[in-house]
Structure formats: structure tokens, C-alpha cells
């Protein structure tokens, strides 16, 4: 049994969001609502915008809005521009899930590149307002009417992106185009993926298997399918007799052994509540 120590619950996202102080402080990503091209093909436009400069990093036609497709777009953007400090998204797939830490395979990849996750609150698109306003402009100028095919729609997006970045004045930039406020990131890509170390010798690490489980005294305990083949950190909290499960900067949840073995995830911003409740429990115990 590791030496007990009080631990601090980590956050699943930054709230309030960190200040946007320059290019690549935060990239904003979202899907514009899907539509059909004139040949009947479904089009899911994925847009990535630098929050400081409003530079449109990518505007890509996707036929399937899944994690592997989005990762390919980000791989291309990272290769061209470098890495951001944070990525802001909504709480929907493939950016986030309802599982432990809100993680998806895509989010795990971002974390291991050293990118902070920022997730807007459900039902509050204004927290990603730059993207919302931009999508209205994009729809008006490139999809009314839709182009004949997906490839034709992509050409329309590419022409718009070139004009938007290099020619069109932006009110938030004193009527200068986004390219005038944009530079390449000093954080280059590709870079080795991070392995999050165990913080102290009295903590433990556990490997997630291909099914998303760890082994607890021989019993499989499901944590997260998004973390298959990754290591998580286990920190024992003696005040509540539970184990805190952590992946890098994220609180994933708590393992209780008695009366039955159980894992309770801290989903998304619920990590904040866990920290508050833990502080209250500890405060109450110390005053008794």
C-alpha cells in the first residue's frame, strides 16, 4: 500500500480560459453544420482558427466527422504551423466524450503533444464566439448555394481561406487582415509524445489494457477506452479511503474498494466539484 498523502484534484479543462496573448496561445476548432453538395454528398466542414490573429488555419471538407479524419487535418496543420498551447472545442465527439476526463483518442493525442484542453460549457457556444461568427460568414460566402461536388466545395473553401487570411480586413485587428497578426509557432512538430511520469515514489502507475481496463487484484476495472495502452497514475487519499486516478493534467475519477470495487469518473468540469467536495470533507474531518 503506498504512503497516504493528500492530493489536489486536477481540472479537466481550464476555466476561466487562459488569456489569448498572441498567435498559437489558443486554437479554436469546430464543425460548421453539415450540408449536402448538389450531387447529394454530405459535407462536414471542419474549421480551425487561431484565436489571437483570427487566422484560418484549416477549412476542410470531411465526409466522416470522426477522430481519425480530424487527426489527419490537425497533423497537416501542426506540420505547417507548429503547435498551439491550447485547443478550444465543444464537448461533442470527436473532441470530447462522456467518459472519464471527457477523453477521446484525439484528446489523448493532443495531451501527449503537450497541448492544454479547453472545452466550452454545454449550451454556451458564445464561449467559442469567434468560430460562431466566422461560420455565418463562411456559410454565406461559400455554401449559398452549395457547390456541385465535395471537391468543388473544397476549392471554394480554399479560395475563401486565401482571401480571408491575406486580403480581407478584420474589425478586431484594426482593419488589417489576419495574416498581419500571425506568425509560425515556436513549438515545432513533430515532437516526441509525452509520457506522464508518476509524481512521487509513493504513488503508483497502472497500464490501461486494450479494453480500457486496469487490473485491480486480478479484477478488470474499466477506466476509459480512449486510454488503451496508456499509463495512468493512482494516488491514495486516506481521508476518504479512495484512489484518485490521474492522466497527466486530468482527473479521471476515483476508485473505491469497499463495499464493492467501483470506479467513479469525474466527467469534464465535474473535476471542479470533486475538488470542492474533497476540500469540504477534509475540512469537516479536521474540525470534528
Superfamily of structural domain 27-181 = Ribonuclease H-like superfamily/Ribonuclease H (3.30.420.10)
- DSSP string covering 168-233: S-BGGGTTB-GGGG----SS-SS-PPP-PPPSSTTSEEEE--TTSEEEETTEEEE--GGGTT-EEE
Question: What pLDDT does 18 receive?
Answer: 63
Pairing mode of beta strands 56-62, 42-50: antiparallel
Find cell 466545395 and name the residue: 153
Q: What is the pLDDT of residues 105-159, one digit of tens each?
A: 999 999 999 999 999 876 655 566 677 788 888 999 999 999 999 999 999 999 9
Q: What is the pLDDT of residues 75-94, one digit of tens each?
A: 999 999 999 999 999 989 99
Q: Measured between alpha carbons, how far is 227 from 94 in angstroms, rounded to an integer?
A: 14
Q: Measured between alpha carbons, how far is 63 from 73 in angstroms, rounded to an integer?
A: 13
C-alpha cell at 223: 477506466
Q: What is the pLDDT of residues 231-250, one digit of tens each?
A: 999 999 989 899 999 999 89
Q: What is the pLDDT of residues 30-80, one digit of tens each?
A: 998 899 999 999 999 999 999 999 999 999 999 999 999 999 999 999 999
Q: Measured between alpha carbons, how far is 220 from 207 in angstroms, rounded to an integer?
A: 12
Rounded to two decimals, the pTM is 0.83
The answer to whether 146 touches 37, Cβ cutoff 8 Å, is yes
Question: What pLDDT does 170 receive?
Answer: 81
C-alpha cell at 77: 496543420
- What are the residue boundaries of the structural domains of the chain, listed by start? 27-181, 204-287
Amino acid at each position: 500500500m503506498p504512503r497516504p498523502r493528500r492530493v489536489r484534484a486536477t481540472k479537466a479543462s481550464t476555466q476561466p480560459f487562459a488569456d489569448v496573448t498572441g498567435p498559437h496561445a489558443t486554437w479554436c476548432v469546430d464543425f460548421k453544420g453539415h450540408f449536402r453538395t448538389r450531387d447529394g454528398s454530405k459535407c462536414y466542414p471542419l474549421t480551425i482558427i487561431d484565436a489571437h490573429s483570427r487566422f484560418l488555419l484549416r477549412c476542410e471538407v470531411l465526409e466522416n466527422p470522426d477522430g481519425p479524419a480530424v487527426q489527419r487535418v490537425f497533423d497537416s496543420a501542426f506540420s505547417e504551423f507548429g503547435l498551439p498551447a491550447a485547443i478550444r472545442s465543444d464537448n461533442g465527439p470527436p473532441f470530447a466524450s462522456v467518459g472519464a476526463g471527457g477523453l477521446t483518442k484525439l484528446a489523448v493525442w493532443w495531451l501527449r503533444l503537450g497541448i492544454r484542453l479547453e472545452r466550452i460549457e454545454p449550451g454556451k457556444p458564445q464561449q467559442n464566439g469567434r468560430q460562431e461568427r466566422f461560420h455565418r460568414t463562411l456559410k454565406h460566402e461559400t455554401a449559398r448555394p452549395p457547390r456541385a461536388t465535395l471537391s468543388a466545395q473544397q476549392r471554394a473553401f480554399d479560395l475563401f481561406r486565401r482571401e480571408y487570411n491575406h486580403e480581407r480586413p478584420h474589425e478586431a485587428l484594426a482593419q488589417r487582415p489576419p495574416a498581419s497578426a500571425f506568425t509560425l509557432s515556436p513549438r515545432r512538430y513533430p515532437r516526441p509524445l509525452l509520457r506522464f511520469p508518476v509524481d512521487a515514489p509513493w504513488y503508483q502507475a497502472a497500464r490501461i489494457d486494450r479494453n480500457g481496463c486496469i487490473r485491480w487484484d486480478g479484477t478488470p476495472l474499466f477506466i476509459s477506452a480512449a486510454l488503451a495502452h496508456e499509463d495512468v497514475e493512482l494516488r491514495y487519499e486516506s481521508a476518504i479511503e479512495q484512489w484518485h486516478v490521474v492522466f497527466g493534467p486530468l482527473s479521471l475519477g476515483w476508485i473505491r474498494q469497499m463495499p464493492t470495487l467501483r470506479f467513479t469518473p469525474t466527467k469534464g468540469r465535474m473535476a471542479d466539484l470533486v475538488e470542492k467536495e474533497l476540500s469540504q470533507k477534509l475540512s469537516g474531518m479536521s474540525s470534528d
